[in-house]
Every structure is written in structure tokens, then in C-alpha cells.
Chains A and B, each alone.
Chain A
């Protein structure tokens, strides 16, 4: 049962379990979509008569929306493990705890990408901003990876706390601030057609953040869940 095969099989098992649970309950996506739609419509009404302002704030609104919708998803994803103490059931498995973490991260990533796939076309239509840009899509993926990698760890830490709904964003947002700033700047750069040299710094920051914080979160997970 040891070795890389076992690791990936365990990751796959957790990933598939989260997807199946979401398919049956639809709690994460419903919460994320409802929140995202509300934000889009509120901003649309607020900036209705100023199309230039709409375009200027488009990327910022989008990333704010993803950041908050993401916390809703992370909270629900870990609440699932809290009910019936399922997290302990996971920890009893004779597998590398990193596999459990990775499975959760991949599932959370899928949920956020699905939300983005629903939200972006709608946002594009309402705000008259085109997001059809390869660079923007790459930034979206890089931003989500860093955000979810750190978010899953923090959600695991806060899941047992009574104030977890407040605690998660309080702990998470300061940590992911660099990634949000870099993602907004890089997205803006790509969408406004800035030269690569001006965008590169932000993309590099995203890459470095993903590697450093992703690795740290992966390694710290075992310590965090140990009783």
C-alpha cells in the first residue's frame, strides 16, 4: 500500500468523494454562484451610468468576488469533514496525509473554476469587457492554485473552531493578499494589452507564491491535523 501509486490513489479517492458529495448536495456551488451573482448585479447597478468606471474596476471586482466566493467554498468543504467527525476517518487511513490535502485542494480548485466558468461570461456580457485572453486565463489558474492551496490549510485549522466562519477570512486574507494583488495587476496587464515585460513581474510573483506557499501548506498539513 506504500509508494507513489498509493499516494495518487488516495488523492483520487478524496477528490472523487468531494465531487460526489457536491453532486448530491450542491451546497458549495450554490453558495458560490448566489454570492457571485449578487456581487455582479450590485456592481452593475452601482456603475450603470459610467461604462468607463465599469471597465476600470472590472478586474478588481472579479477577483474580490472570487476571493469571497472561495472562502464560502472552503468553509463548506471542510464543514463536510467536520460532520460525523469524518476528518478523523480520513486520518485513520494508512496513507500519506499529503494525499488527503491534495485531494481536497484539487476538489476545491474544480469548484472555483466551475464558478469562474459561469461568472466570467455573465460578467463579460454585463460589463462589456472581453476576457478572451490566454494570459488572463493563465493568471486565473495561477491565482486560484495559490489561493486554494493556502485556503485549504487554513480551513483545516479553523474547522474545529466555533467562530470558523469569521476566523477563516481573518486568517486567510492577509496571507493571500500578495496573490490577490499580483493577480489583479497581471489580469489588468493582459486585458489592457500591456507588453509582457510589464506583466512579467506579477506573473513571476504568482508562480513563486504558488510554489512556496503550496509546498509549505502541503508539508504543514500533517502537523495541523495531528491530534
Chain B
């Protein structure tokens, strides 16, 4: 019996901005079908890690392999198999919801694009606003549309940076439902979040980043919210020694 190779493999990853090291020799991997939630205080390196995996940021040292493609050399191949939802929605304010999705569908050459974008607009609850310019959308609506953009290509690996930010209760429930469906379909999800109650039912594993390194890992075996919070607090009180 052969074990599937990791969908994300990071070895000795170093990344700095100016003189400030954000990732310091990070070793980390994700298996196919997992839902990994990256936790950690602000500045821990979560967003930077996702941006490196999404091929948006270059790194100074180490090896990164995403969906079988070595970065940065095979970045174009990796991009075909990654869906990235960052802090910004990457949507053109002057274009309507459907025009935005149509543009990205053309760019990614999505087959049967019109059917796909209609389905996605309905899925994220924006079918009635499909012809309205994005400029008139609230932050939460833009976040929903950004999610539809990410899902256009049915990527096997989804990288979601604080996906619940800006969503109201209905929007957050809708996102949780969509993420659970994606999990069920076998997609691999890596997300960052501070919203413990929202991510607890989704995660198969919690990884805590601290000062650019993997501080601790906690598999989600029917964890309760208080157990997760206690674990998180205890890890931050007793962080590993990291040379500055």
C-alpha cells in the first residue's frame, strides 16, 4: 500500500521583508483531503505562508512544493491547481458580478463558463445581484463573490486567508456550508482564522504558527471549543525558543 504524497510540502522555508524575518526555517506539510486551520497571533507568518503557497510572494530559502509543482520554478503549473482567497477580493469595482466572474473564467479558460458562473452566483446567494456593479456591494457581498471567483476552476487546493472576515451571520453560515461541501468532495483546505467557533467543525487539524515557525499541532478529534481555546492559550504562554 502506498501513502499519497503531501499536497503541500514546505522544508526550511525562509521569508523576510527587509531585515525582518517573517518565516524562519518553517517545516510543514498538508496531506490531500485535509482541512488545516492555521492559528497564531498577528505577525506569526500565516498570511505570508499562504501567499508563498499561492505563488504571490517569493521566498529567500527552503523548498516549497504545491500540488506536485516545485516553487518558484513550476509556479504556472501550481497556479492551475490553487484557489486563493486573500484579504482583498481581486474584483473590479466597475464590472458587474457576472462580468467579473466571466473575466476570470476566460482567463482560466473554464469550460462551460456561463453555466458554471450562474451556478456559483446562486450558490453564494448573489444571483439576484449578478448584473450590479461590484462597487455597490457590501464587504460581505464582495467576499461571497470572491469565493465564487476562487471556486470557478474547482481547484484541488484552496488557500483561504481569514475567509469569515466581513461576513454577516448568514454569510458565515453559507461559507461554512460551502467549505463543508468542498471537504466532502475531497478538496484540501488550508485556512487562517481567529474565529474558533466557525472553524472548529471544519478542521481536521490545527497548526499554530508563532514567530515564523510551527509551534504546535493539534489533530481535531472531536475537540470542544474550550479545549481548543485552552490549548491555544497554553501554547502562546509557553512558546518554543526562537533565536531572533
Contacts and interface: CB of A to CB of B under 8 A. Distances in A.
A88 to B, nearest CB: 6
Contact of A21 (B54, B76, B77, B95): B95
Interface string B87-121: 01111111100010001101111000000000000
A88 B84 CA distance: 10
B130 interface: no
A93 interface: yes
Contacts of A90: 107
User: Contact residue range for chain A?
Assistant: 20 to 34
A21 B94 contact: yes
Interface residues on B, range: 20 to 34
A95 B142 CA distance: 25
B95 A88 contact: no
A63 to B, nearest CB: 30
Given A24-B95, A227-B56, A227-B58, A95 B88 contact: no
A13 B103 contact: yes
Contact of B79 (A20, A85, A93, A226): A93
A85 B86 contact: yes
Given A1-B80, A24-B133, A84-B89, A92 B94 contact: no
A25 interface: yes
Contact of B94 (A12, A25, A85, A96): A25
A86 B107 contact: no
A88 B94 contact: no
A1 B80 CA distance: 9
Contacts of B79: 92-94
Interface in B161-200: none
A83 interface: yes
Interface string B55-66: 111100000000
B109 A17 contact: no
Contacts of A95: 76, 107
B92 A88 contact: no
Contacts of A91: 55-56
Contacts of B58: 226-227
A89 B91 CA distance: 8
Contacts of B84: 92
Nearest to B79: A94
Interface string B135-175: 00000001000000100000000000000000000000000
B88 A20 contact: no
A84 B92 contact: yes
Nearest to A22: B94
B92 A80 contact: yes
A59 to B, nearest CB: 35
Given A1-B80, A94-B76, A86 B106 contact: no
A93 B92 contact: no
7 contacts: A13-B103, A13-B106, A24-B95, A84-B89, A93-B107, A94-B76, A227-B51
Interface of A: 1, 6, 9-10, 12-14, 16-17, 20-21, 24-25, 80, 83-86, 88-96, 226-227
Interface of B: 51, 54-58, 76-77, 79-80, 82, 84, 86, 88-95, 99, 103-104, 106-109, 133, 142, 149
